[in-house]
Amino acid sequence: MYQKKLVGVFGDPVDDNPSVVIEQVAFDYMKLPMEYLTIQVKKGDLQAAIEGLRAMNFTGINITMPHKIDVLQYLDYVADDAKIMGAVNTIYVKDGKLYGENTDGKGFMRNLRNGNVPTKGKNVVLLGAGGVARAISVELANAGVKHITVVNVIKEEGERLVELLNSKTSVEATFVFWDHKYSVPDKTDIVVNATPIGFVNKEEKPNIVYESIHPQMVVCDVIPNNMNTLFLEEAKKIGCKTFHGMQMLVNQGAIAFELWTGLEAPVQVMLEALAKVYGD
């Protein structure tokens, strides 16, 4: 009997989950018999749900909050970068085995690669120290970045990320407590907003001295629902090359698509579908 191949997302239910939009539109565009499901999995039910992937012949699954960290213990293999981050957001099933990957930081790196931005030996300023900051900084470190300055409002969280980077990767990382208007150092090559500032309130931008940004700096935002955040607008006015979080989100979804199907993802179709949902 004919059955569509199943993928989807396990986690807390959210309205308008962007992964549903970008993955399903990609499957349909490529005429693949695949369906993306949103499945609410409560905290205590994760192991049973993960076992169910094998039992129900799933192709793979995305993992979102609150399971990104807990899920590692139930997998057969975890990619090295995801092990360092301690978080997985994508699983694929191959020959009955479960493989864990983290595509968030990889989606960010694909933006830089597609824009011909070199990373080896570069200096990065990273605003924020949460899950996305961790994923991005580990990938930047693995790509040969020289130094990462982690700027964060909660000291312990920032210091924890710096300690992780210094102990588990070859990058040099230092911490700056973000209790003031932060001035970006002159030697900086890449500046990243990895906080949620600008996501809900589009009038907000990170508390930095914008005059300290120079035109040769590359400026990136993770905010997934707006291509033109105030942060990026300020950088564009200065003349910087910029990368938005909507493309990063599409890229991380494209990498998941590629892991599940073995095919190149139709990224432009995915981006257009996402922009329509977010009205941008």
Q: Could you list the residues that contact ligand NDP (CB under 6 A)? A: 104, 107, 128-133, 152-154, 157, 195-197, 199, 222-224, 245, 248-249, 252
Sheet architecture: strand order including 218-221:
172-177, 147-152, 123-127, 190-193, 218-221, 241-243
Residue with tokens 């950088």: 235
Cβ of residue 149: shortest distance to ligand NDP, in angstroms? 14
Residue 134 CA to residue 136 CA, distance in Å, equals 6
Instruction: Tell me whether residue 1 or residue 200 sits nearer to ligand NDP (CB atom).
Output: 200
Instruction: Tell me whether residue 28 or residue 157 sits nearer to ligand NDP (CB atom).
Output: 157
Instruction: Tell me whether residue 48 or residue 154 sits nearer to ligand NDP (CB atom).
Output: 154
Instruction: Tell me whether residue 90 or residue 261 sits nearer to ligand NDP (CB atom).
Output: 90
Cβ of residue 197: shortest distance to ligand NDP, in angstroms? 5
How many CB atoms sit inside 10 A of residue 93's CB? Answer: 18
Cβ of residue 176: shortest distance to ligand NDP, in angstroms? 12
Active site residue 68: yes
Catalytic residue among 31, 68, 241, 276: 68
Instruction: Tell me whether residue 86 or residue 130 sits nearer to ligand NDP (CB atom).
Output: 130
Write the CA distances from 205 to 38, 42, 213, 259, integer angstroms. Answer: 32, 34, 14, 35
Residue 70 CA to residue 84 CA, distance in Å, equals 14
Instruction: Tell me whether residue 215 or residue 232 sits nearer to ligand NDP (CB atom).
Output: 232
- Residue 195 near residue 125, CB atoms below 8 Å: no
> Comparing C-alpha atoms, which of 274, 273, 269 is closest to residue 246?
274
Cβ of residue 155: shortest distance to ligand NDP, in angstroms? 8
Residue 196 CA to residue 130 CA, distance in Å, equals 10
108 burial level (CB within 10 Å; 0-12, 13-18, 19+): buried
Active site members: 68
